[in-house]
Amino acid sequence: MFYLTADFGSTYTKLTAIDAEEFRILATSSAFTTIETNIMDGFYSALKKLETKLGKLHYDRILCCSSAGGGLKMVALGLVPELTAKAAKLAASSAGAKVVKTYSFEISHSEQIEIKDINPDVVLLCGGTDGGNKEVIIANARRLSEIDQDFSIIVAGNKSASYELEEILKSSGKDYVITDNVMPVFNHLNIEPAKQCIRDVFIRKIVDAKGLSEVQQMASGEIIPTPLAVMNACELLSKGTKNSPGIGELMAIDLGGATTDVYSMASGKPIAENVLVKGLPEPFSKRTVEGDLGMRYSLASLADELDMDCLGKEIGIDSQDIFQWITHCISNPDAVAATGSRELQMEEILARSAIELAVERHCGIMESAYSPMGIIFSITGKDLTEIPYIIGIGGILINNPHHEAILKGALFKPDKKNSLRPKSPKILLDKQYIFASMGLIGTLDPDLALHLMKEEININNNN
């Protein structure tokens, strides 16, 4: 059995050829894809590259994922920021979407306009526990209906509002589906049904809209969003199969041009004793995506977050020079820093900083309160201090000789003790960029995918 996987990105199409009998990756290749041309051009030139390595390819199955056309662009709405709005964001992120913005309470007129300008593919509308608040979700359904854009709406809020919501959305003419609440009971997450609906809408509507129908005809199964494939791969690597154990808890980081994605496969339970757990319980498999942290398209917003003088001093380069390089990269997204150059040094410190910020946002925080009994500690979010592995994925990290130093941006900082980042993980690399591919293979042959991933990151296959 031969498998071919194809990952249709915004700029590159990446292919992986796998021999399932031999448990081997035969070769990988990639080709530049432009937004202007047909998406299949990139596929065929990547295929040609593969065939020059391997000769004429006869594959039995071809599996595809895509983040083309900016990926699956979503906005999420909830009621209270720390509750249903957060749950909505978690659901959309773990379905592989790029959550551009999250809104809470009744949205304002300017937020309505903002959503129109964002022009999302899908909107996830939540709010209220079952039997709880109905007013806000109903008001927001009305406001969304008024927006003159062709997005799909997935409703995953208070079930008691479903009659009213159905009526509003039916007359809006928009594509919509109503599913189970992301938070049916106070502080209980239920994101799977919403996640499944997002996947269905992606297959039913987005694939076409992003010019992927030709890809879909060729593919042996449904196309899924690339981050979902990566998430599935991480989950498989962590949990293992019934025949072979996984490697346990892990974090994976994908530093891209537009976003920085952080995945954690971990319970995140507090390590210290006698700490109080606060806030929404988070899922074992969690993904966060930072749309303002990236190495090309989002460099401007990344730079806004950084103290450039301080970073410049660290590498002995004037901050003005860093700003110049940033400006250059924003207007030339295909800019590459030469090996050993000052530009590469700048790239590395920017990359490390993006990872620092993204991981800080992903991890839980510890807070202390003074009480008559002394200090009491509480944790909101996941405690990831004891995570044993961090895996770097994505082109930017793979192609940088100092990827380990960059990934160390994820580590626990003594001067920021309240951020529960990993303290002493082993740092690993997805050298050949196979994680998305393995997420696809895992649906058909999980043992094969698990074996290949362990090999890729050099973790003993005999355990």
Partner 1 sequence: MKRKTIVTGVIGADVHAVGNKILAYALEDAGFNVVNLGVMVSQEEFINAALETSADAIVVSSLYGHGEIDCSGLRDKCNEAGLKNIVLLVGGNLVVGKQDFADVEKRFQAMGFTKAYPPGTSVETTIEDLHQFIS
Tell me if 376 contacts partner 1 by CB under 8 A.
yes
Nearest to 129 by CA among 79, 165, 178, 89: 79
List the one residue from 217, 331, 339, 371 that touches ligand B12 (CB under 6 A). Answer: 371
In angstroms, give the least distance from the CB of 371 to ligand B12: 4
- Residue with smaller CB distance to partner 1, 217 or 371: 371
Binding string, 112-131, against partner 1, x = CB under 8 A? Answer: ---------------xxx-x
Stretch of residues binding partner 1 (CB under 8 A), selected from 44-52, 79-87, 91-99, 298-306:
79-87
Q: From CA 414, how far away is CA 392, in angstroms rounded?
A: 23
In angstroms, give the least distance from the CB of 161 to partner 1: 11
Tell me if 369 contacts ligand B12 by CB under 6 A.
no
In angstroms, give the least distance from the CB of 293 to ligand B12: 39
Q: From CA 49, how far away is CA 55, in angstroms rounded?
A: 10
Stretch of residues binding partner 1 (CB under 8 A), selected from 171-179, 363-371, 408-416, 455-463:
363-371
Stretch of residues binding ligand B12 (CB under 6 A), selected from 30-38, 182-190, 316-324, 365-373:
365-373
In the window 70-129, what residues touch ligand B12 (CB under 6 A)? none
Tell me if 364 contacts partner 1 by CB under 8 A.
no
Tell me if 276 contacts partner 1 by CB under 8 A.
yes
In angstroms, give the least distance from the CB of 140 to partner 1: 14
Tell me if 338 contacts partner 1 by CB under 8 A.
no
Please give, one letter per residue, the 3-state secondary structure of the chain.
CEEEEEEECCCEEEEEEEECCCCEEEEEEEEECCCCCCHHHHHHHHHHHHHHHHCCCCCCEEEEEECCCCCCEEEEECCCCCCHHHHHHHHHHHCCCEEEEEECCCCCHHHHHHHHHHCCCEEEECCCCCCCCCHHHHHHHHHHHHCCCCCEEEECCCHHHHHHHHHHHHHHCCCEEECCCCCCECCECCCHHHHHHHHHHHHHHHHHHCCCHHHHHHCCCCCEEHHHHHHHHHHHHHHECCCCECCCCEEEEEECCCCEEEEEECCCCCCCCCEEEECCCCCCEEEEEECCCCCCCCHHHHHHHCCHHHHHHHHCCCHHHHHHHHHHHHHCCCCCCCCCCHHHHHHHHHHHHHHHHHHHHHCCEEEEEEECCEEEEEEECCCCCCCCEEEEECHHHHCCCCHHHHHHHHCCCHHHCCECCCCCCEEEECCCCCHHHHHHHHHHCHHHHHHHHHHHCCCCCCC
Stretch of residues binding ligand B12 (CB under 6 A), selected from 246-254, 270-278, 311-319, 370-378:
370-378
Tell me if 316 contacts partner 1 by CB under 8 A.
no
List the one residue from 183, 262, 365, 366 that touches partner 1 (CB under 8 A). Answer: 183
Stretch of residues binding ligand B12 (CB under 6 A), selected from 179-187, 233-241, 369-377, 409-417:
369-377
Tell me if 163 contacts partner 1 by CB under 8 A.
no
- Residue with smaller CB distance to ligand B12, 310 or 373: 373
In angstroms, give the least distance from the CB of 371 to partner 1: 3
Stretch of residues binding ligand B12 (CB under 6 A), selected from 116-124, 299-307, 366-374, 384-392:
366-374
In angstroms, give the least distance from the CB of 405 to partner 1: 40
Tell me if 394 contacts partner 1 by CB under 8 A.
no
- Return residues touching ligand B12 (CB under 6 A): 371-373
Footprint on this chain of partner 1 (rule: CB under 8 A): 79-80, 82-84, 127-129, 131-134, 183, 186-187, 276, 278, 369-373, 376, 378
